[in-house]
Structure 1
């Protein structure tokens, strides 16, 4: 049985964490529970659940924890959806994900992730993932404390936390089950917190050097509030907004996108990119080229960097894993050629990008290969033919 991990009484990551309701510091109450003096908040697998407006979910988890039943509490939290538009989970299936741990793929099936599962499982190959890595490489100093808002299952946190062994790496998301997947399969040592960006962020002021929102900012309703909260976390640091959809262009995903001028009006002066240019930078190893106003209008999505001074010289520390890292053939490859999860995946990600259309199993590469400095291996990793995947992923 995979028993949920309850809170350590003196957990260092609790420092600076505040209630989203009364803004008081959160402190341990008993195993698996935090208190702000007025109410109790669940905290399982060291993931505080601080989402407001979900009293039934919070109370169900708290009640189970007071009965010393952390499994039932975790099932309640894992069943919480983004909103009512998402079909409810099957409680017995969610319980199976908790008590019989398997692969990330199996967990997503039991959590009824549906069409979201292929995106998460194969995000390592996607142009939007490469663009985020290139944005971080170009603007985030090595070793900086990173907070990602809307981190999903923690793909970027995994890449970043390797430099710090998880220390100083924080991920936040609205959906608890996303963070649970991150904890179980992707970045076990990162600090993970579940909260709603419409509330005051529960994180301490100046708790990060870099704050990132990638492929998530266009979903936020109160964008001015979110930006103000992100800036509060890194007042003297770097603010990065990546893969923000362009309202003037057709997009495959829902959201509340803005035009280039509207994003720039919110964010203020800084560096602007066509997000596709960042993907190209990751594929080629060349520095990304900022876009002018006219080029931005034609971009499907944007990326923005706001921060002090000149960006550091780009390096390949995130796109390319460290020497000796085990690699495996991209699981999209079935035999010599790829098999795409569905038509939407192919239309949205594959058709616009030659590196995915041309994905083929490499000749002369065995099952056990490790990263080295050879140009051929570097090219295979950049083009996502070979991947550095987490254990128990597929």
Structure 2
């Protein structure tokens, strides 16, 4: 893990006994191997530290599992419920854990994200701008689904999210070994990055406050050889009522001078061509790539197909309907959001073709690319 920095002083953090980090002036809790460096939560941080100091790691973990972001619509579980969840986690599926955390609609988003256009566009953005980085750092990484694809290719991955429980799920179900940090990047990046690192923020930047300040800190963090990749940033011109703080393509480009812009929908199918802000005036969402010296040579990589030998199973979102496979959307809102995922509708394959491994035959690989077959976590 690279050096962690205090979000308030910027000084390096070091261990200060079990489950605690310090910069010499302030202390921060570490639970399940995840440092809690979120600012604006002093009372919660102090309560977690007090529990750690008295040897009550279970109680400290329960406190942090209840912490939410500013967009949460459902109350978190009670303290007792959170503690029981921590006790039970090794016997639960990912979906059961999200239900007990009261994730609500967010649980549907994460449970079926592997075949969503917004997930595939993240892979396309990485493929289009791949530079063989020594590390991919994802901001607002959620439960780590994009980073799981990166790590599967043997590439170092690290994640930051403002919600501790999402990182905790990532640790248990998707990313057992990757460095994960709970932090608010409005206060700056809480870690030092190796030269040439790629910083990714997908389907989240438009939610963030102080976007000018965050953009500046990301470009500074990337340095002279790194890159910043912002994916699925909603276009304020596309429709009214979009959550967060969306901007126009021109305004996103102004935040990252010299960046390349893309139609996020085009990236869902793989590498895509850069577009002008004028060409993107009416698209739903844009993506962008920035490097200090301008966008230079890239390396080929394929994130849309898992590595050979990866076990696959039928996408649980699909149902059999009159000789075809079609999505059975979990909610009307989910159906509206992903109605353009027409690649999920096909003639029903033979039963023996509804599972397999990558590389078994061309049909299996094609079904994997079309997200009919998925590489899901073992305890999905």
* Residue correspondences, number: 370
User: Which secondary structure does the structure 1 equivalent of 2:15 belong to?
Assistant: strand
The Cα shift of 1:52 comes to 1.0
User: Which secondary structure does the structure 1 equivalent of 2:131 belong to?
Assistant: coil
Aligned with 2:131 (options 141, 151, 155): 141
The Cα shift of 1:298 comes to 1.4
8 Å contact 1:150–1:172 — kept in the other structure? yes
Q: Distance in 2 between matches of 1:70 and 1:339?
A: 41
The Cα shift of 1:346 comes to 0.4
Matched, 1:24 2:11: yes
Q: Distance in 1 between matches of 2:186 and 2:162?
A: 10
The Cα shift of 1:200 comes to 2.3
The Cα shift of 1:354 comes to 1.5
Aligned with 2:296 (options 305, 310, 332): 310
The Cα shift of 1:141 comes to 2.6
Matched, 1:386 2:373: yes
Matched, 1:301 2:285: yes
- Residue in 2 that maps onto 1:230: 218
Unaligned runs of 5+ in 1: 1-12
User: Which secondary structure does the structure 1 equivalent of 2:312 belong to?
Assistant: strand
- 1:9-88 residue pairs with structure 2 within 5 A? 13=1, 15-83=2-70, 86-88=73-75
Matched, 1:190 2:178: yes
8 Å contact 1:147–1:208 — kept in the other structure? no
The Cα shift of 1:309 comes to 4.5
Q: Distance in 1 between matches of 2:246 and 2:141?
A: 18
Unaligned runs of 5+ in 2: none
Q: Distance in 2 between matches of 1:329 and 1:84?
A: 32
The Cα shift of 1:290 comes to 2.0
The Cα shift of 1:313 comes to 4.8
Q: Distance in 2 between matches of 1:359 and 1:30?
A: 56
TM-score (norm 1): 0.89
The Cα shift of 1:364 comes to 4.2
The Cα shift of 1:83 comes to 2.6
Q: Distance in 2 between matches of 1:84 and 1:139?
A: 31
8 Å contact 1:360–1:385 — kept in the other structure? no
Aligned with 1:292 (options 273, 276, 285): 276
- Residue in 1 that maps onto 2:106: 116
- Residue in 1 that maps onto 2:307: 322
Return closer, same or farther for 1:251/1:94 CA change in 2, 3 Å cut-off.
farther
Matched, 1:98 2:86: yes
Deviations 1:79-111 (A, max 9, x none): 001138544322232222210121110110110
8 Å contact 2:133–2:198 — kept in the other structure? no
Q: Distance in 2 between matches of 1:338 and 1:220?
A: 31
The Cα shift of 1:245 comes to 0.4
Q: Distance in 1 between matches of 2:222 and 2:104?
A: 36
Return closer, same or farther for 1:208/1:40 CA change in 2, 3 Å cut-off.
farther
User: Which secondary structure does the structure 1 equivalent of 2:159 belong to?
Assistant: strand
Deviations 1:276-303 (A, max 9, x none): 1101x23xxxx41222333210110001
Deviations 1:214-257 (A, max 9, x none): 10110111111111221222112111111000011116751101
Return closer, same or farther for 1:380/1:149 CA change in 2, 3 Å cut-off.
same
Q: Distance in 2 between matches of 1:153 and 1:251?
A: 28
Moved over 4 A (4+): 205-208
The Cα shift of 1:331 comes to 0.7
8 Å contact 1:206–1:233 — kept in the other structure? no
User: Which secondary structure does the structure 2 equivalent of 1:295 belong to?
Assistant: coil
Q: Distance in 2 between matches of 1:303 and 1:322?
A: 26
Q: Distance in 2 between matches of 1:311 and 1:116?
A: 37
TM-score (norm 2): 0.92
The Cα shift of 1:366 comes to 4.9
Deviations 1:329-356 (A, max 9, x none): 001124454321100000111x223213
- Residue in 2 that maps onto 1:264: 253
